[in-house]
A and B are shown apart, each in its own frame.
Chain A
Amino acid sequence: MMDAESRFRDPSSLFFQFDTIRRYIIASYWVLITLALPLWWTTTSIERLPLPTSEVYAQAQKKLEIPLAICVDSAFSSHITSLQRSIRDAASYLDVQAHPGQDCSQFPGYAILPGEQILVEDRKLYYPPSADNLASTLASLLAPKMDHRAAQYSPRFRLSFTLLNEDSSAGQVITSWDIQQAIARHIHPITSALGILHNYTIESQVQYHALLAFEPRSLSNGTVFGLTPEDLTIFINSAEWTLSSSSSNDPVFHFVLFIPSARRRPLTILNSDGTPSSSSAFLIPQWGGIVILNLPPPPPTTLHLDLPDLQSSFSSFSRHLLTLLGFPRLPPSISYSSSSNTSLSSWQIDTLLRQRIHENVIQSHNTLQSTVTLVSQIDGMPVDEQVQSQVQGSLSTLHELFRYASVNLTFAEMLAYSAQALTLSSKAFFHPGMLAMLYFPAEHKYAVYTPLFASAMIPLLAAALREIAAWRKERREARAVGDVREATSGDGPKVDTKSVL
């Protein structure tokens, strides 16, 4: 017997419901949730490919030894050990093999030959046998300290030459300059000699109104104007002057030829004690060079600067450029051989190459190490295939460099290897894909996810539980009925089972 109320409460008795269909519906939700869980997991997890961490640390422990064979004339054979030691002390990355020889003048590499005065010629050093500090001279020639004014290594540099008329309205204006010839004469020799190190882009411009942001000091009744050392640090009026185009991301060296206004001429640089300096050029470390060109006041109002006018300015610029590129200076005691036609000796170029190779290797070691430590430190940082391959590429380039360095690589090839390792490692480090997930505190996550999931999960859970309970109840009842049937069938003859059903 069932009363009406319990009939409606029991889902199985509703006319439009069938147990099986209802259970399929509820089960389908759960099947979908279980199927969606792995999808949710894979789409929300961050791709973190493994990086060759132990390899990176092992590589960072290694030190590159650049082989350097020097033929030492028999006149200096007693100096060989002290010579080797002093170079090693100055630069531990050099693997110096100094060996005595009779005909060092024919030797293709570095050679130390007896001469009357200290001279360099190509890769030969002439040295008077009587002079004693050969070891220290050689050390300063082969491994000088890197100038802090030099820029960090970059495969590409942009050189920007600017002619600045301070105030064209004041009278005289320079409208053009023989920049192409000046560059060809003063800058190209450097860029071609050091073309092995960097790729250079050159741009130039002329500006007509470039006011200083301060008033130069007036000396001797306003006939001479002076710039104090403090003035020089604020000389560049960066708020008003546009000194280079922003067409690429390469580092830029700026070279500014400043023509003071006709009203404020001559403009001189003052020493710290206030006396006029003999120089009219100064260098801003890692930034560029500035030359102040005081023209005599001639009648014409417009003017063209031709090559002879630019001679001294551009020789300053070329000196600045060499400093900015880290080109080592010859020790003062050494002079160039009269037969060579350039101040860029192979000694210095090779030294710069070796320094840059050493720097690049150290730098790529550091960058690789930083990459792996950073990835292990910051959990939310993704590491994709590209980063992985860049790290591996950098590593394998370094491996090759280290393997072949002692065998048969020229300095130029070693530099190419080291530059590539550096480029790849920094590309990996600054890969745009490695942007870490934003940090959210745990309580924020609960605060966001609970209202979202709780409201959906509670009815689902409740329905599932109720259904399971109903199913178990049914089974229990079925079993009870079965028991009854068994019990009655055991008593066979007494009860007619059919009458019970």
Chain B
Amino acid sequence: MRVSLFITCYNDTLFPATGQAVVRLLERLGHTVDFNPEQTCCGQMHYNTGYQQEALPLLRRFVRIYRDAEAVCVPSSSCVAMMRDHYPKMAAEQNDAGLARAVDELLPRVYELTELLVHRFGLEDVGAYFPHRVTYHASCHSQRSLHLGDLPLRLLRKVRGIELVDLPNIDRCCGFGGTFAVKMGDVSAAMLAEKMRDVENTRAEVVTAVDNSCLMHIFGGLHRQRAGVETAHIAEILAATESDEVPA
């Protein structure tokens, strides 16, 4: 299948390794990856902070770029949630029937990475090898907007060498929340403290998630404490193979 990658603005800029892992993984599974460099951002930051007018051109941009895509892969559940939860309403408010129809037609072809793998490709074992103790953080949008349930865990369970441990209070927000993390920095930090306690109790080496935004926040806190715990987007675990583990 020809998969169009929407890498998202922050993965593009801050986490290129995640995008590289998505490409490596999808190509290993026999698919062709497209990357249209006209893409920028889904508009979530603007929309959720109250700048809804500013998000609208980004919706139009997204539709223009991907309207003919066979499948759009997004390695970020919160960006997919932005599209599913808000694009239809935003388009309807424009009284632009063409735009509303284009959104309706496009959205069923937009997949968060683990949805693409499990729902579209029917895969759980992607042939990965990752010999580490890992705990999975379920981001709020992945749980409550996308209703991913155990999709990511089903993929992780099939990874060879992995030692998967449950994160206590998995349904509790880590305190990132986009601009919340800086607007309400102290409250966000208090929420992070609880999450880090839960992470450290698992004695995992690596925390993974389907969103690098939560992971940036969680890792930021763990690193400040010199906790010696890493974070990795799920794509990076699923892309890893035995040859990656051979010392150079």
B and A form one assembly: no
